[in-house]
Amino acid sequence: MKSRTVFVCSACGAQSPKWVGRCTECGAWSSLSEEAAEPPSRAAWADPGRPGPVPLSEVRTDDQPRLPSGIGELDRILGGGIVPGSVTLIGGDPGIGKSTLLLQVSDSYARAARKVLYVTAEESAIQTRMRADRLGASATGVFLACETELERILGFVKDLAPDLVVIDSIQMVYRSDLPGAPGTVTQVRECTTELVSLAKRKGISLFVIGHVTKEGSIAGPRTLEHLVDTVLYFEGDRFQNLRVLRAVKNRYGPTDEIGLLEMGERGLVPVADPARLFITAGRPLLTGTTVLPSHVGSRILLVEVQALTTRAVYGIPARKVSGVDPNRVALILAVLEKRAGMTIGMQDVFVNAAGGIRVDEPAADLAIAVTVASSFLDRPVAAATAVAGEVGLGGEIRPVPRATARIEECARLGIARILLPAETAPGPTDPRIEVRRVATVREAIDAALGS
């Protein structure tokens, strides 16, 4: 008898009895692939060893214990360390350092007299050992398993009873009683479900590495991200040393923190002074550059915002943006034309946040506006000047949070003057820095570039 097939959406996991061009659930185009219909799954809740319902008043509310990972920037993102029983999904481009990061975490865990099971589904034991030797990861408590079959992996976990399990990567793991090749939506979803269920029952910390699509999102159904406690994205250029670890979901900590790491010969190390990382000191004044004191998580980072405007020669003006919100850039360009009298409608405009950092807060608006004006007018921003503020559609400058912390960080790094919104609440004065308050975009441009 011919086996029944269904069409499964790779974006949301929805099923359809026939192929359609657009998923009816999430609206993604060309995301349905044909797979054999899965048999009734084994119900994890049928396990007789699972506890039953308990009164809410008897549930303990003690703080979850956190164990250090050995990498301070990772602990910062996780909210202070790894919570036993938590499940973390890490995604990133190939070669970015995901396996290196988790091998270092495994070694640190093992050195603290804890047991680690590292499951490598893509590399051989020799390849993993060579990486461990390069990183100096020689702890004896790390157990390596080159395995792709889920049933055997679950057996290893039950036999070893480890404190930490690493799956590298989930797209290569398969369940033998399910149809479909490893990496299909059904296999990824069901394998992750069983691993998460076991980790929760046994109180095991679980790290899962996931491949990413060409759009940059983690491959597989979006339900994969809903199954785990924390989702981390590893960003950066694999040909550069800087790596940015960003949390997009975290049940045990903040989601606005980032971790800054450098890839060296001995693996990933935290950046010593992140505040000095994204600006270049001692360089001659250039047009189209401005320093932005950006609020990222619990830190203030000084980011260099760059812009270039040039006459469009190919008809439709180009708008290319990197590191900042392109929608905010479009809004700011309209405000500059309407409120500041700059005819940039037929100009190609390029905006970039230097150093590979991504800035999402509205406080970057004024820095972008001043930078674009600097390039358009061909006049540099005054030396040692920082700019922060939100730009409204009327050209007004709105206040930003943590103004005092921005002032203090700028003063510490030798910034002589900072432009802030006029409505910013007055704080303690610092003799090392001049605070100039501006009310409109035009006033800010005059103050930054000179009338």
Query: Does any domain span residue 321?
Result: yes
Question: Is 371 in the same domain as 413?
Answer: yes
Question: Cβ atoms within 10 A of the Cβ of 447, count?
Answer: 19
Do residues 336 and 377 lie in contact, with contact meaning Cβ atoms separated by under 8 Å? no
Question: Is 260 in the same domain as 294?
Answer: no
Question: Is 98 in the same domain as 172?
Answer: yes
Query: Does any domain span residue 303?
Result: yes
Which long-range contacts does 389-394 make (Cβ < 8 Å, 24+ apart)? Answer: 389/363, 389/365, 389/419, 389/420, 389/421, 389/438, 389/444, 390/362, 390/363, 390/365, 390/366, 390/421, 391/331, 391/332, 391/335, 391/365, 391/366, 391/441, 392/335, 393/331, 393/335, 394/339
Angle between helices 125-135 and 98-111 (to 10 degrees): 70
From CA 222, how far away is CA 329, in angstroms rounded? Answer: 29
More confidently predicted of 365 and 44: 365
CA 268 remoteness from chain centre: 16
Do residues 121 and 172 lie in contact, with contact meaning Cβ atoms separated by under 8 Å? yes
Residue 43 banded pLDDT, cuts 50, 70, 90: very low
Angle made by CA atoms 235, 240, 242, in degrees to the nearest 5: 55
Polymer length of the chain: 451
Structural domain ending residue among the three candidates 226, 244, 272:
272
Q: Residue 91 sits in a domain of what CATH number?
A: 3.40.50.300
Question: Is 261 in the same domain as 298?
Answer: no
Angle made by CA atoms 440, 443, 444, in degrees to the nearest 5: 85
Question: Is 89 in the same domain as 214?
Answer: yes
Residue 45 banded pLDDT, cuts 50, 70, 90: very low
Structural tokens at position 186: 């059904």
pLDDT at position 47 is: 55
Mean pLDDT of all residues in the chain?
Answer: 88
Mention every residue, 6+ apart, whose C-beta is less than 8 A from residue 101.
Answer: 71, 74, 90, 234, 245, 261, 268
Please name which of 397, 349, 3 lies closest in space to residue 180, comparing C-alpha atoms. Answer: 3
Question: Is 11 in the same domain as 126?
Answer: no
Highest mean predicted confidence (pLDDT) among 107-111, 186-190, 274-278: 107-111
Structural domain ending residue among the three candidates 272, 305, 333:
272
Query: Does any domain span residue 56?
Result: no
Query: Does any domain span residue 42?
Result: no
Q: Is the dihedral of CA 90, 95, 100, 101 positive or negative?
A: negative
Task: Summarize pLDDT for 128-163 with one digit per residue, the tens.
Answer: 999 999 999 988 899 999 999 999 999 999 999 999
Preceding amide of 169 cis, omega within 30 = yes
Global model pTM greater than 0.75: yes
Query: Does any domain span residue 61?
Result: no
Mention every residue, 6+ apart, whose C-beta is less than 8 A from residue 124.
Answer: 146
More confidently predicted of 20 and 288: 288
- The residue range of the domain holding 31 is 1-37
Question: Is 369 in the same domain as 334?
Answer: yes
Query: Does any domain span residue 279?
Result: no
From CA 143, how far away is CA 160, in angstroms rounded? Answer: 9
What's the structural domain count of the chain?
3
* Beta-strand relationship, 319-322 and 347-353: parallel
Question: Is 307 in the same domain as 421?
Answer: yes
pLDDT at position 3 is: 54
Give the strand order in the sheet containing 385-387. 319-322, 347-353, 299-311, 289-296, 385-387, 417-421, 434-438
**What is the residue-wise DSSP string for 114-162?**
--EEEEESSS-HHHHHHHHHHHT---TTEEEE---BHHHHHHHHHHH--
Residue 48 banded pLDDT, cuts 50, 70, 90: low
Angle made by CA atoms 277, 131, 125, in degrees to the nearest 5: 150
The DSSP letter of residue 212 is B
Question: Is 194 in the same domain as 244?
Answer: yes
Question: Is 149 in the same domain as 101?
Answer: yes
Query: Does any domain span residue 283?
Result: no
**What is the residue-wise DSSP string for 340-409?**
S----TTEEEEEEEGGG----STTHHHHHHHHHHHHHHT-PPPTTEEE--EEPTTSBEEP-S-HHHHHHH
Mention every residue, 6+ apart, whose C-beta is less than 8 A from residue 360.
Answer: 324, 325
Give the mean pLDDT of 428-436.
86
From CA 132, how far away is CA 105, in angstroms rounded? Answer: 11
Please name which of 314, 285, 308 lies closest in space to residue 376, comparing C-alpha atoms. Answer: 308
Structural domain ending residue among the three candidates 272, 306, 332:
272
Name the percent of the chain lying above pLDDT 70. 91
Question: Is 110 in the same domain as 256?
Answer: yes
From CA 146, how far away is CA 1, in angstroms rounded? Answer: 36
Q: Residue 400 sits in a domain of what CATH number?
A: 3.30.230.10
Task: Summarize pLDDT for 326-357 with one digit per residue, the tens.
Answer: 999 999 999 999 999 999 999 999 999 987 78
Query: Does any domain span residue 192?
Result: yes
Asked if the model's pLDDT at residue 449 lies above 50, the reply is yes
For residue 435, list its beta bridge partners: 418
Do residues 117 and 107 lie in contact, with contact meaning Cβ atoms separated by under 8 Å? no
pLDDT at position 238 is: 67
367-369-371-372 Cα dihedral, nearest 10 degrees = 160
Question: Is 117 in the same domain as 255?
Answer: yes
Q: Out of 71-75, 111-115, 430-434, pick the least confident.
A: 430-434
Q: How far is CA 238 from CA 95, 263, 264, in A?
A: 6, 9, 12
Residue 167 carries which side chain, given as an amino acid letter?
A: I
